[in-house]
A and B are shown apart, each in its own frame.
Chain A
């Protein structure tokens, strides 16, 4: 047990490793737990799970409460290290509750959980009926969230009367021996700076050396995690059709995607874009070398763990491919 606690929750930085992405917006909670267990069995040591209130598109159809799913994953897996990819504390959840959730999961999977934080999307924050803050304001909120959550996870009693959050003698009573690490999603220079200054790692979605440099320049020495969308299928046509159906948000530019409130809005914007463009953001087809090449692009940019997100229902087929063809090529010594 002590050895398990001593396990670092985050991947290392000395060589690239592969991880597996659990898409809460595409799969039921029970399926997600099954995928996590199967991924661990296939040889994955790292996973990220998305934290959504709503799916990106109506076709995806799911969005279970990630903290409940994590509780089940914690008991269903033994070695898999899991983080949220990513949680946000804009309106949907208060930082003091987010800290409690993270602390609880970390006690269920000692040394295997880390908290991924970001500045949020309107899709997952609008439902409380409050205004949608500007990007600049959300970046300030992200900074505040990191500080509040860190203090609480360290065992401090926290009171705040800030512009974004108020807290009154908040304290986490059930805490892990070691606070879970915090990583921050970086879409540009400003968030990379926040990650470098305040977090234990960075998550990116583009193979950008400039982003990794900005993180490192701001003091970041932790792992650089990446999300890579793939849609492996027996044929190219099947993969493209599956990706376009299940991941139409991949057709919507990120700067627009974060500003849309409803799955139907995102689907509407996506319908105005040629489906063929899905290959701009999702690696499609049966050719494993395309996936390897895409992983290499992240390696070239300096990312240290690449989490593979198989779009669509065929997680089993993809995990078989990963076990047979991908993980052996990125195996830890």
Chain B
């Protein structure tokens, strides 16, 4: 029975030398795949096409995302071919990219939000406005407030530079700034920013960890 694993597990397995197998069509693999992964398209999966792999080694099978059933079906087929340590990466490539983890392939990184995100000026949740007023003036935009682990709590905008410096940033926090995953394509991002009239979006992982910020001008051009 293949073991279901998540992104954290897959990172550990890959670091320990596990075989990574993408079972999507070759074109999808060529565009983007996990570092070091090999491609065995599901439609071509049989005993001969996996002959180059070590059946005794840990083998992680993945497809596109958690809705796609190919990784589960492929993992069982790997076991039927005699593979003894098989893992089904259920959430697959979409989850990997949503975490902003390294990817290989022909698609240019700047075609995705994670590839164009710029570093954001950030501060801690217990900061005071006086601690960030220079940054607010310099950035002319906003400072992102995060937990010690980097999870986004909100943004403080430049107008806060005028409030009493001893004011906690939490008092002038916009707690619901827009965010996207690094895996969103810049085309999708441009469409959503245009539709929702956004001048910026934060790029975060699924657990809310800040990667960076994308300004409207980067994907839509100037108004």
Q: Is B198 an interface residue (CB 8 A)?
A: yes
Which residue in chain B gives the minimum CB-CB distance to A15?
Answer: B162
Residues of chain A in range 180-220 having any CB-CB distance to chain B below 8 Å: 189, 196, 209-210, 213-214, 216-219
Q: Is A329 an interface residue (CB 8 A)?
A: yes
Q: Which of B140, B157, B158 has the most CB of A within 10 A?
A: B157
Contact with A along B136-180 (1 / 0, CB 8 A): 010010000000000000101111111110010001111011000
Residues of B within 8 Å of A269, CB to CB, are none
Pick from A213, A301, A304, A329: contact of B199, CB below 8 A: A213
- Size range of the interface on A? 20 to 34
**Closest beta carbon of chain A to B128's beta carbon, Å:** 13
Residues of A within 8 Å of B174, CB to CB, are 209, 300-302
The answer to whether B223 touches A15, judged by C-beta atoms less than 8 angstroms apart, is no
The answer to whether A300 touches B157, judged by C-beta atoms less than 8 angstroms apart, is yes
Pick from A14, A189, A210, A216: contact of B161, CB below 8 A: A14
Residues of B within 8 Å of A21, CB to CB, are none
The answer to whether B162 touches A213, judged by C-beta atoms less than 8 angstroms apart, is no
Which residue in chain B gives the minimum CB-CB distance to A214?
Answer: B197
Contact with B along A137-178 (1 / 0, CB 8 A): 000000000000000000000000000000000000000000
**Closest beta carbon of chain A to B170's beta carbon, Å:** 10
Q: Is B216 an interface residue (CB 8 A)?
A: yes
Residues of chain A in range 274-296 having any CB-CB distance to chain B below 8 Å: 293, 295-296
Residues of A within 8 Å of B171, CB to CB, are 293, 296
Residues of A within 8 Å of B197, CB to CB, are 189, 210, 213-214, 217-218
Summarize A's interface: helix, strand, loop or mixed: helix
The answer to whether A302 touches B162, judged by C-beta atoms less than 8 angstroms apart, is no
Q: How far is the CA of A219 from the CA of B161 in the complex (A)?
A: 22
The answer to whether B163 touches A299, judged by C-beta atoms less than 8 angstroms apart, is yes
Residues of B within 8 Å of A13, CB to CB, are 158-159
The answer to whether B199 touches A330, judged by C-beta atoms less than 8 angstroms apart, is no
Q: How far is the CA of A332 from the CA of B163 in the complex (A)?
A: 9
Q: Is A228 an interface residue (CB 8 A)?
A: no
Q: Is A40 an interface residue (CB 8 A)?
A: no
Q: How far is the CA of A293 from the CA of B164 in the complex (A)?
A: 12
Q: A14-B161, A217-B216 are in contact. Are A300 and B156 (CB under 8 A)?
A: yes
Residue pairs across A and B with Cβ atoms less than 8 A apart, 7 shown, are A13-B159, A216-B199, A217-B198, A296-B172, A299-B157, A300-B174, A330-B162
* Known A299-B157, A299-B159, A300-B174; 9 more pairs at CB < 8 Å: A14-B140, A16-B161, A209-B174, A216-B199, A217-B198, A299-B162, A301-B174, A302-B174, A330-B164
B residues contacting A by CB (< 8 A) are 137, 140, 154, 156-164, 167, 171-174, 176-177, 197-199, 216, 223
Sorted from nearest, which 10 A-B pairs have the closest CB atoms? A15-B162, A16-B162, A217-B197, A15-B161, A219-B223, A16-B159, A214-B197, A329-B164, A302-B157, A304-B159
A residues contacting B by CB (< 8 A) are 13-17, 189, 196, 209-210, 213-214, 216-219, 224, 293, 295-296, 299-304, 329-330, 332
